Structure 1
Amino acid sequence: MSSVLPFVAEQLLKDIEKSYKEASQLPDDLLIALQCIFGSCALQALDLLDHRSVTCVSSPSGRRVFRVLGGSGQLYTCFTSCHYCPCPAFSMAVLKRNSGLLCKHILAAYLCQAMGQSQQEQVSDQDMSRILAGQAASDS
């Protein structure tokens, strides 16, 4: 995470992780800081967490991605290792306009990592390859 997020954002996620491990909740000062740094997508990301919309998908080879079910029902595969989400908001705000650090989906994935709150799913290496290629994983 250190190479993709500004230091302040990275430190905030570390503080959230520490605080959540100690108290199983986030104090108001960290929630306010989250809102100040990430703006409106902070509340939207927390809403995704509340709805348990984030799943950490991993394979035996150690590859890992986060799949986030957006409010519209669209499933987004987010890559925290390279700070990328394929959603239109990420494309517009982060890549084209450079007006935001990230979208609600990738922030939700980062928060799930920090708080240990994502659902877990194990898939085969073959299915992970399909996910990484943007194809649906097989049902077998």
Structure 2
Amino acid sequence: MDATLPAVAEELLKEIGRAFQESARVPDNLLSALKFVFGPSAVPALDLVDRHSVTCAVSPSGRMVYQVAGSSGKIYTCYASCHFCTCPSFTFSVLRKGDHLVCKHLLAVYLSRALGSCQELTVQDQELTRLLLPEEMRG
């Protein structure tokens, strides 16, 4: 069972997706709502989406994981089904302090899905497993 964001956040992302399908743009009122709901993560997340930094790695078995190239160039792994990112900001601001719903990387995943701009990469199951391992365990 997938975890869910607060209803207002889920609905906002759906509305952004609908608006973008209709007019190939996100209206200012929805951008303002995005900033209101997601706070300081909104603008950097939009920047990541604009730079096509979100990739969805999909295996033949149907498993998938999102990878986001952060602004520093470091790759972070995001799990949209349980709202988790491997970045330090997620650990500190979302899990520890609880003052953010999500980090910019996870929000970029949600936005790229809503806007249909997520890059897709087909990988074998073994490669997907390797992507899921912490960096220090990859070899």
Task: Judge same fold: TM > 0.5, yes or no.
Answer: yes
TM-score, with structure 2 as normaliser: 0.93
Following superposition of structure 1 onto structure 2, how do residues 52-63 of structure 1 map, counting pairs within 5 Å? 52-63=52-63
Q: Which letter maps to 2:109?
A: A
d(CA) in 2 for partners of 1:87, 1:18:
29
Q: CA distance change for structure 1 residues 129 and 103 in 2, over 3 Å: closer, same or farther?
A: same
Whether the 8 Å CA contact 2:3–2:81 is kept in 1: the answer is: no
Instruction: Decide whether the 8 Å contact of 1:127 with 1:137 is kept in 2.
Output: no
Match in the other structure for 2:121: 121
CA contact (8 A) 1:67 1:77 kept: yes
Letter in 2 for 1:123: V
- Number of residue pairs matched? 138
Given that 2:2 and 2:81 are in contact with CA atoms closer than 8 Å, whether structure 1 keeps it comes out as no
Two-structure CA RMSD over aligned residues (Å): 1.8
Give the equivalent residue in structure 1 for 2:112.
112
Matches within 5 A, 1:92-107: 92-107=92-107
Distance 2:61 2:32 in 1: 38
Q: Which residue of 2 aligns with 1:70?
A: 70
Percent identity for Structure 1 against Structure 2:
49
The answer to whether the 8 Å contact 1:2/1:10 transfers is: no
Q: 2:85 corresponds to which residue?
A: 85
8 Å CA contact 2:3–2:83 kept in 1: the answer is no
- What SS does the corresponding residue of 2:36 show, helix, strand or coil? helix
Q: Aligned residue for 2:7?
A: 7
Query: What runs of 5+ residues in structure 2 fail to find an aligned partner?
Result: none
Cα pair distance change 1:28/1:2, threshold 3 Å: farther
Q: Which deviations, in whole Å up to 9, do the C-alpha atoms of 1:40-97 show, x marking residues without a partner?
A: 1100000001111111111111111111000111100100011000101000011001
The separation in 2 between residues aligned to 1:129 and 1:103, in whole angstroms, is 24
Structure-1 separation of matches of 2:102 and 2:9: 11
Take 1:45 and 1:96, find their aligned partners in 2: how far apart are those partners?
Answer: 20
Residue 16 of structure 1 aligns to a residue whose secondary structure is helix
SS in 1 for 2:66: strand
CA displacement at 1:137 relative to structure 2: 8.0
